[in-house]
Amino acid sequence: MKILFTSPVFGFPSIGGPELRIETSIKALSKISNLVCYIRLPKLRLTNESNNFLNNLSEKVYYLDPHIPKDVFWPQILENEKPDLIWFGYGNISYVLMKYLKSITNIPLVCDTDSVWSKFILRELDVENNQERRLEVAEEGKIKEHEEKDWVNFCNVTTAVSEIDMEYYKSLTKNKNKIHLFSNVIDLSSYQTTIENIYNITSPSLYLAGTFWKNSPMEDATRWFVDKVFSNLIIKYPNLKLYILGKKSTEIVGDLSNQNIHVVGKVESVLPYLKHVDVVLVPLRFESGTRFKILEAMACKKAIVSTTLGAEGIPITDGENILIADEPNIFYQKIVDLIENKLTKNNLAQNGYNLVKEQYNIENLALQGKIICKYVGLIND
Give the model confidence (pLDDT) of 318-358 as tens digits.
Answer: 999 999 999 999 999 999 999 999 999 999 999 999 999 99
Res. 235: pLDDT tops 90: yes
**% of the chain surpassing 90 pLDDT:** 87
- Check whether 154 has a pLDDT greater than 70: yes
CATH classification number, 190-359, choose in 3.30.40.10, 3.30.365.10, 3.40.50.2000, 2.40.50.140: 3.40.50.2000
Confidence of residue 127 (pLDDT cuts 50, 70, 90): confident
- What does the alpha-carbon distance between residue 153 and residue 174 come to, in Å, rounded to a whole number? 9
pTM above 0.85, yes or no: yes
Distance CA 369, CA 89 (A): 13
Nearest to 352 by CA among 268, 280, 286, 250: 280
**pLDDT tens digits for range 189-227:** 999 889 999 999 999 999 999 989 998 889 999 999 999
Contact assessment for residue 137 and residue 89, using Cβ atoms and an 8 Å cutoff: no
| Alpha helices by DSSP H, 245-341 | 249-253, 271-274, 292-299, 328-340
> Which letter, b or e, does each residue of 8-43 get, where b requires 16 or more Cβ atoms within 10 Å of its Cβ?
bbbbbebbbbbbbbbbbbbbbbbbbbebbbbbbeee
pLDDT for the residue 39: 98
Q: Count CA atoms closer than 13 A to 150's CA, side-chain side.
A: 15
d(CA 362, CA 377): 23
Q: If pLDDT is split at 50, 70 and 90, which confidence band does 264 have?
A: very high
Checking if the pLDDT of 153 tops 90, the result is yes
Q: What's the CA gap between 199 and 309, in Å, rounded?
A: 31
Closest to 302 measured CA to CA, from 267, 351, 259: 351
pLDDT at residue 128, rounded to an integer: 81
Residue 381: band (very low, low, confident or very high) from pLDDT cuts 50, 70, 90:
low
Task: Report the percentage of the chain scoring pLDDT > 70.
Answer: 99
pLDDT at 288 over 70: no
Q: Would you say 178 and 185 are in contact if contact means Cβ atoms under 8 Å apart?
A: no
pLDDT of 290 strictly over 70: no
pLDDT at residue number 125:
86
Closest to 242 in 3D by CA, of 264, 224, 221, 271:
264
Nearest to 209 by CA among 162, 254, 170, 267: 267
CATH of 2-185+361-375, one of 3.30.230.10, 3.30.300.10, 3.10.129.10, 3.40.50.2000: 3.40.50.2000
Residue 308: pLDDT over 80:
yes
Helix, coil or strand: residue 129: coil
Single-letter amino acid, residue 338: L
Q: Where in the chain is the domain with CATH 3.40.50.2000?
A: 2-185+361-375, 190-359
CB-based contact 326:281 (threshold 8 Å):
no
- DSSP notation for 2-37: EEEEEES---SS--SHHHHHHHHHHHHHHTTSEEEE
